Amino acid sequence: MIVSMTGFGSATAEQDGIACSIEVRTVNNRYFKATIKLPDKLTAIESEIDKLLRETIARGSVVYALSIKDLRGVASVTVNQPVLDMYVQRVQALQQTLGPAAGTTIDLAALFNLPGVVEAGDEFADYLAAHHELITRLSREALGKLLEMRKKEGAGIWTDLCKHLEVIRVALAQITEQAPKVSRQYHEKLRARVLQMVSDAKLSLSDSDLLKEVALFTDRADISEEIARLGGHLEQFKAACEREDQAGRKLDFIAQEMLREANTIASKANDSQIARLTVDIKSAIDRIKEQAQNVE
Q: What is the pTM of this model?
A: 0.70
Just give the CATH number of 7-75+127-151.
Answer: 3.30.230
- What's the pLDDT at 287? 95
Please answer whether residues 295 and 240 qualify as being in contact, where contact means their C-beta atoms are separated by less than 8 angstroms. no
pLDDT at 57: 94
pLDDT of residue 88: 80
Q: How confident is the model over 182-215, as pLDDT tens digits?
A: 666 655 565 556 556 555 555 455 556 555 655 5
CB count within 10 Å of CB 66 equals 21
**CATH 3.30.230 region(s) of the chain?**
7-75+127-151
Predicted confidence (pLDDT) per residue in 241-282, tens digit: 988 778 999 999 999 999 999 998 888 777 888 889 999 999
Distant-in-sequence, close-in-space partners of 259: CB < 8 Å, separation ≥ 6: 282, 285, 286, 289
Residue 13: how many CB atoms within 10 A of its CB?
A: 14
Can you say whether residue 14 is alpha, beta or left, with left for phi > 0 and alpha for psi between -120 and 50 degrees?
beta
- Give, in degrees to the nearest 5, the angle at Cα 63 between 36 and 80: 30
Q: Give the angle 145-151-153 at the CA atoms, nearest 5°.
A: 105
The per-residue pLDDT for 92 is 78
With a pLDDT cut of 70, the percent of the chain lying above it is 77
What per-residue confidence (pLDDT) applies to 74?
53
